[in-house]
Amino acid sequence: MIVLQGQGVSKGIEYGSLYFYHRTNTQVTQQTVEDTAAEAQRLEEAKAKSIAQLEQMAEKAREEAGDSAAELFETHAMFVEDEDYTGAMDELLEEGWNAEYAVQQAGEQFAAMLAAMDDPYMRARAADIRDVTQRLLNNLMGIVEGGIDADHPVILAADDLAPSETIQLDKSKILAIATQGGSGNSHTAILARTMGIPAVCGLGDALNESMNGHAAYIVGDTGELIFDPDADTLAALQVRQKAQQEQRELMRTMVGQEDVTLDGRHIKVYCNIGSPEDVDAVLTNDGRGIGLFRSEFLYLAAEDYPSEEDQFRAYKEVAAAMQGKTVIIRTLDIGADKQVEYFGLNREENPAMGLRAIRICLNRPEVFRTQLRALYRASAYGKIAIMFPMIASVWEVKECRRACQKVMEELKAEGIPFDPEVEIGIMIETPAAVFIADELAPLVDFFSVGTNDLTQYTLACDRQCNDLGKFFDPHHPAVLRALKMAADAAHKAGIWIGICGELGADLSLLPTFLAIGIDELSVSPTAVLPLRAEIRRSIASTCTLDMLNS
Ligand code: PEP
Ligand code: MG
């Protein structure tokens, strides 16, 4: 028996085989071949396979992120058949070189030619050609990049996964996630919790590619990855699996029940989602609304700024599916660990404290305006609320509100329907916002506390860093007192306050949240029913603020 110990970041137990996520590092060798016709045939097959993959990706992108995300893949499919590009490959094949070499050389020449052009649009196409060239090479060499080339769900193993990588994954193929790095607040962990699958981070080098294909138990509660369990361990794991199943069935009895304590305190239990695909999980788990829709998925899934139309369609789809229940959409939170190349952001020493989230929007009014127009247009089809991330100053909120006002005036003049009563809220995730919460509260309709970032900034602990262990303590009295300060300011101004950071699902803190007077908890869809069960067992009037003291 081998047990690897990491940090459990999403609960549950699963058994399956490990599948390593591959990033391509293609080594092409230059060789002469005898049978040039057979080589040409190999290339034709790789081209056909590439086109089929790209058409499939275009379809997936259209469903998840709209037409402009799909167009990219359609353009790539056209490149595969471009006569200048493929003509250069054919010439090299005729000279007797192997197909891999021909593709790589033609790709490099073509990309260099585009990169040297004056027209910025053509220059940008060089990256597309490199991408297409890589795809052709992968298909020639049988390399599976990123995707999961298995016909059954697997335990996905990786060093770590960037948000832009996770968006590409076929979620139906993932049983669980195991990573070398990462932490409980990384977006890999958040993704796992949203999907309701076990995840273990921080396994270090002990997790390595030699384990590819090996079967293991993954235990999200304890952070273990267990190979070849001995008889006793196996029996214990099977008992836990059975208990997990029974617990899930018990939780189903919570569907349709009110979110109310034994002494009648109501609390809204909403869900966090990252894409329209997640709405199914919200409905299955009976979430009463969406408290955080991380809209940056649209930007991460695309290779260029998503258009107003694409965004409108995605927001409308979610608003309509939720049938009048609140859908709080956060404006884009790009930057820090969520990097998008086409934003052309400079490299930063401290990206978590750099140009990110609302700072980008306020610096790029056109990008902001496009998103706000899409949000307001979608508000005609459901109960949308808008939330701004990373607020630190009063002037930022005023500028956001002015931008909203301007967009509403534009839409009115254009005769486009929208809801003029859309609620506007801000995230409380910087200590600055906590300290001036009394000045911010009168400017908005609600607060939602982003405890992931609030903990990071309050404790000066990088949320991405797995080595910080006990130092990254979201239960720290400083974080809980910050929550209380923000809640008191909100209630004094007559607005509601929720929590949309991961702490919201921490059942051990529910009595503290009730004592503070938190009005809403927005959690992963799979955390809704356990949270509801706990709320229904609680007595709010007996809850204390004890945890606020060290
Ligand atoms: C947070 O910081 O708590 C939050 C909800 O936002 P994100 O995790 O997307 O930064
Ligand atoms: Mg945040």
**Looking at residue 183, which CATH number applies to its domain?**
3.50.30.10
Q: Which residue, among 296, 338, 288, 335, has the nearest Cα to 314 in the 3D structure?
A: 296
In the 8-state DSSP scheme, what is residue 288?
S
Question: How many residues are present in the chain?
Answer: 550
2 band by pLDDT with thresholds 50, 70 and 90: very high
461 band by pLDDT with thresholds 50, 70 and 90: very high
Question: Are both 399 and 278 inside the same structural domain?
Answer: yes
Whether residue 334 has pLDDT greater than 70: yes
Give the ligand 1 atom nearest the CA of 502. 3
Give the mean model confidence (pLDDT) for residues 328-354: 91
Question: Are both 85 and 180 inside the same structural domain?
Answer: no
**For residue 112, is it within any domain?**
yes
Q: Residue 250 is encoded by which pair of tokens?
A: 């018990």
Tell me the helix, strand and coil percentages in the chain, rounded to 5.
55, 15, 30
**For residue 30, is it within any domain?**
no
Instruction: Please write the tens of the pLDDT for every residue from 374-424.
Output: 999 999 999 999 999 999 999 999 999 999 999 999 999 999 999 999 999
Is 76 marked active-site?
no
Q: Measured from the CB, is residue 294 less than 6 Å from ligand 1? A: yes
Residue 65 has a pLDDT of 58
Give the mean model confidence (pLDDT) for residues 334-339: 86
Q: For residue 505, how far is its CA from the centre of ligand 1 (angstroms)?
A: 13
The residue out of 221, 250, 279 marking a domain boundary is 250
Residue 153 has a pLDDT of 92
CATH number for the domain that contains residue 506: 3.20.20.60
Q: Which residue, among 139, 188, 148, 136, has the nearest Cα to 22 in the 3D structure?
A: 148
**For residue 27, is it within any domain?**
no
In the 8-state DSSP scheme, what is residue 301?
S
Q: For residue 531, how far is its CA from the centre of ligand 2 (angstroms)?
A: 22
Cα gap 449→499, rounded to integer Å: 5
Question: Are both 269 and 393 inside the same structural domain?
Answer: yes
Helices (H) and strands (E) in the chain, counts: 20, 16
Cα gap 447→483, rounded to integer Å: 11
**For residue 26, is it within any domain?**
no
Question: Are both 311 and 184 inside the same structural domain?
Answer: no
Is 500 marked active-site?
yes
Residue to substitute in 390, 459, 500, 524 for testing ligand 1 pocket (most ligand atoms within 8 angstroms of CB): 500
Question: Are both 331 and 470 inside the same structural domain?
Answer: yes
- This prediction has a pTM of 0.74
**For residue 265, is it within any domain?**
yes
Least confident span in 17-26, 83-92, 415-424, 460-469: 17-26
Whether residue 61 has pLDDT greater than 70: no
Cα–Cα separations (whole angstroms), residue 58 to 8, 387, 455:
35, 30, 39
**For residue 31, is it within any domain?**
no
Active-site position among 271, 404, 461, 500: 500
Q: Measured from the CB, is residue 333 less than 6 Å from ligand 1? A: yes
The residue out of 141, 172, 198 marking a domain boundary is 141
Question: Are both 218 and 161 inside the same structural domain?
Answer: yes
Question: Are both 96 and 162 inside the same structural domain?
Answer: no
Range of the domain at 435: 255-548
Residue 22 has a pLDDT of 74
137 in Cβ contact with 49 (< 8 Å) = no
* Ligand 1: residue whose CA is nearest its atom 4: 450
Cα gap 540→483, rounded to integer Å: 17
Q: Measured from the CB, is residue 429 less than 6 Å from ligand 1? A: yes
Give the ligand 1 atom nearest the CA of 185. 8
Question: Are both 421 and 471 inside the same structural domain?
Answer: yes
Q: For residue 501, how far is its CA from the centre of ligand 1 (angstroms)?
A: 5
Question: Are both 463 and 345 inside the same structural domain?
Answer: yes
Question: Are both 12 and 42 inside the same structural domain?
Answer: no
* Ligand 1: residue whose CA is nearest its atom 3: 450
**For residue 236, is it within any domain?**
yes
Cα gap 411→404, rounded to integer Å: 11
Residue to substitute in 270, 271, 333, 358 for testing ligand 1 pocket (most ligand atoms within 8 angstroms of CB): 333
281 in Cβ contact with 194 (< 8 Å) = yes
Give the ligand 1 atom nearest the CA of 449. 3
Question: Are both 307 and 228 inside the same structural domain?
Answer: no
Question: Are both 90 and 152 inside the same structural domain?
Answer: no
Whether residue 188 has pLDDT greater than 80: no
The residue out of 92, 121, 141 marking a domain boundary is 141
**For residue 28, is it within any domain?**
no
Cα gap 234→190, rounded to integer Å: 29
Q: Measured from the CB, is residue 187 less than 6 Å from ligand 1? A: no
| Number of domains within the chain | 3
Tell me whether strands 215-219 and 13-20 are parallel, antiparallel or unpaired: antiparallel
